[in-house]
Amino acid sequence: MQIFPIKTPLIKPEDNLVDLIIKSMFKQGYTLKDGDLIAVSSKVVSITSGRIVNLKNILPSEKATELAQKYSLEPEFVELILIEAEKIYGGVKKAILTLKDGMLNVNAGIDHKNAPKNHAILPPQNPELEAEKIRRKIYERTGKNVGVIIVDSQVSPLRMGTRGIALAIAGFKPLTDYRGKKDLYRKEIHITLHSLADDLASAAHLLMGESDEKVPIVLIRNAPITLTSQNESEKLKISTKECVYANAFQINPK
């Protein structure tokens, strides 16, 4: 497998994301092949779909002001978290743990980083749809069947630092199911599913970085994936009843 960082100019709301992907790849000498994967930063998906908010236009509520003081965040930023999140569980300085679109994340996926001054970037409104739109438009422009991963960064329980996750995917099967297979000692495997999508997202995240790298696109070639025309993003999610963390700590969406 090979992964290639695709540098781009500073991306603006009026940019056409698929045009930018294709032009940036061509400028660096790459052309798409059937079976390639295109990993795209969730932030540029948000930017090009207008998910940028001027914090000066946000009127914080009393609850937002209270939480902002508790967690050392701007009241306007916390108001956005209250709007976007389905549930708030608590937090630490600068970070509030939330439930958003069936996933635990920090600050409901909203970020100041790499946003203009006094602005915040919201997560993609419908990442599954955005991934499929990118895949379909790439096929219309190039005739190539590719997979798409929208990559976000996330923290893991009791682990320092961010890692890449697949916020949404399109065009390939995201999981390998090992249940019913045998291990090295011929014992049956009962619960293991391997998240190919998250591993590939993490590989892309390694090249994307977290600051001023200007690598929001990564080309992944010869990945061990199976292409499909079905949208299988939802298979990456697990219910709170099945999740070991959510169940153990009694986290629920209510």
pLDDT at 253 over 80: no
Q: Which long-range contacts (CB under 8 A, 24 or more apart) does 22-29 make?
A: 22/138, 22/141, 22/142, 24/217, 25/217, 25/219, 28/4
What is the pTM for the complete model shown? 0.94
- Specify whether 238 is located in the same domain as 158: yes
DSSP per residue over 94-123, as a string?
TEEEEEETTEEEEGGG-B-TTS-TTEEEPP
Nearest-angstrom CA–CA distance, 217 and 215: 6
pLDDT at 241 over 90: no
- Specify whether 95 is located in the same domain as 60: yes
Write the pLDDT tens digit of every residue in 11-52: 999 999 999 999 999 999 999 999 999 999 999 999 999 999
| pLDDT grade for 137, boundaries at 50, 70 and 90 | very high
pLDDT of residue 44: 96
- Specify whether 9 is located in the same domain as 80: no
- Specify whether 190 is located in the same domain as 169: yes
Alpha helix stretches (DSSP H) within the chain: 17-27, 42-48, 62-71, 75-84, 127-142, 196-208, 244-248
- Specify whether 146 is located in the same domain as 23: yes
In the chain, % of residues over pLDDT 70: 100
In the chain, % of residues over pLDDT 90: 89
Q: Considering the domain boundaries, does residue 215 fall inside one?
A: yes
- Specify whether 117 is located in the same domain as 240: no
- Specify whether 163 is located in the same domain as 41: yes
- Specify whether 180 is located in the same domain as 200: yes
pLDDT of residue 211: 86
Q: Considering the domain boundaries, does residue 191 fall inside one?
A: yes
Nearest-angstrom CA–CA distance, 114 and 99: 23
Domain boundary among 123, 154, 176: 123
Domain boundary among 75, 94, 123: 123
Beta-bridged to residue 147, according to DSSP, are 37
Instruction: Count the domains in the chain.
Output: 2
- Specify whether 151 is located in the same domain as 250: yes
Write the pLDDT tens digit of every residue in 151-169: 999 999 999 999 999 999 9
| pLDDT grade for 53, boundaries at 50, 70 and 90 | very high
- Specify whether 41 is located in the same domain as 144: yes
Q: Considering the domain boundaries, does residue 132 fall inside one?
A: no
- Specify whether 75 is located in the same domain as 191: no
pLDDT at 235 over 70: yes
pLDDT of residue 252: 81
| pLDDT grade for 129, boundaries at 50, 70 and 90 | very high
Burial letters 151-178, b for 16+ CB under 10 A, else e: bbbbeeeeeeeeebbbbbbbbbbbeeee
Q: Considering the domain boundaries, does residue 59 fall inside one?
A: yes
Residue range(s) defining the domain that contains residue 29: 1-47+140-254
- Specify whether 190 is located in the same domain as 107: no
pLDDT at 254 over 70: no
How is residue 185 written in tokens? Answer: 């000692």
